[in-house]
Structure 1
Amino acid sequence: MTEEVLVDSSDGILTITINRPQARNAATLAVARGIAAALDELDRRDDLRIGILTGAGGTFCAGMDLKGFLRGERPSIEGRGFGGLTAKPPVKPLIAAVEGYALAGGFELVLACDMVVAADNAQFGVPEVKRGLAATAGGLVRLPRQLPYRIALELALTGDMFPAARAYHYGLVNRLAAPGEALAEARRLAQTIAANGPLSVAASKRVVVESQDWPAAEVWERQAALTEHVFSSADAREGSAAFAEKRKPVWQGK
């Protein structure tokens, strides 16, 4: 039986590929478990700096596998959400590399990622309302945080497609690529991030993600609690020395 999730690691990057191209990578419980296991590996291994989530065969993910749903199976994991990701993203950065369609739960996987690289002909959407359902795997709560309010509401209430070019215009997509090149472009972005200090990257992501809900009076105190260790680390000294000596830093992650 073909593995439904493929995992590859190189150059500090863990690439997770949903591998059900015959079903437009619609998510099954096996897919959810495979993604969750890969994300655990990403956070556990010191040699891995960043992850990329993509789909095989020219499609990212068309949402939940309806045949599995009719069998009573849902592609969610308790405490981790749809696809083993939406309710519990990894600590380390995760990039979505999108070709073709990212619809329903597939779009919600994208919204749970930290950055998005998409082919310029890719299509996003939460069509749940067209089926009498609701995008409850993060779509309804993340869309208005990542898009202007009225654009988010338009997507949620119409269920219409959202082309990559428009998503890029509104800042939902970081980089556009030629069709077939989204993964390569995502790797270029990942390599840039992976070359930076791991403690700095981890702390910076935490502040950006968590500070959205901080009370204004506590912003500086909370930021300091997450970043002070960075300044006293061996990596901070190494980064400064490498800059002065005009060489690449050798990070230790401590």
Structure 2
Amino acid sequence: MTKLKDVCAWMDEELSLDVIPDYPGALNGLQLENGGSVSKVGAAVDASLPVMEKAVAEGVDLLLVHHGMFWQGTQRVTGPVYRKIKLAMDHGLAIYSAHIPLDVHPFLGNNACLARAIGMSDPEPFFDWKGIQLGLKQSMSLSREALLERVGRAVDAPVHHCPAGSDPVGTVGVITGGAGSEVAAVAECGVDTFITGEGPHWSYPLAEELGLNVFYAGHYATETFGVRALSAQVAEKFGVDSVFLPHSTGL
């Protein structure tokens, strides 16, 4: 058993919440507190009602998520919003969210974890966004097919891909989540093969026109890495239990 405020203070500092920009709805940090103690940490991508129900069933008292409770902005506390908050408060479930800070962390981040999983050894930051570098890139000598196999193993899910670029894959860029709409800007960064989570329909034909390989590995699937790594680090540092709470959207 450890203090919630100590765990949150460590995560706030480790993830540099005070300096890394994000979307307003992210509201990074502690979003809902409990009675003040932590004995078991749960990791999940989304702070949804089914995930919270799983957390309660597992005896979790601190839920770490990538997408927090307030993406839709100000909402009435009725219906599912009420049920989520009541469930959490009735069972002493605190909720902590980290979005962009957990994408870009150099070791615990979604990008860094996925890059390691596909064999990147020394990637460099790229893609400027609000004054930070949002992704990682590195030259790789793999064939498209070999990289596709690695990415599929890493995310443990089917990978849709646009085979419009070089083979071997050349400079590979990684930005997890929903960065597929940035194919043109990514190509301008000298990337030959772009690995992301998902993108709009038009990103595929545009990638074909640009001569860019794009691997759409799943928004959910590419964003399980960070919360799992963060929860494992918290468990080790503070001597508490941890569990991953899978709830895939398939997107």
TM-score, structure 2 length as denominator?
A: 0.25
Greater strand share, structure number: 2
TM-score, structure 1 length as denominator?
A: 0.25
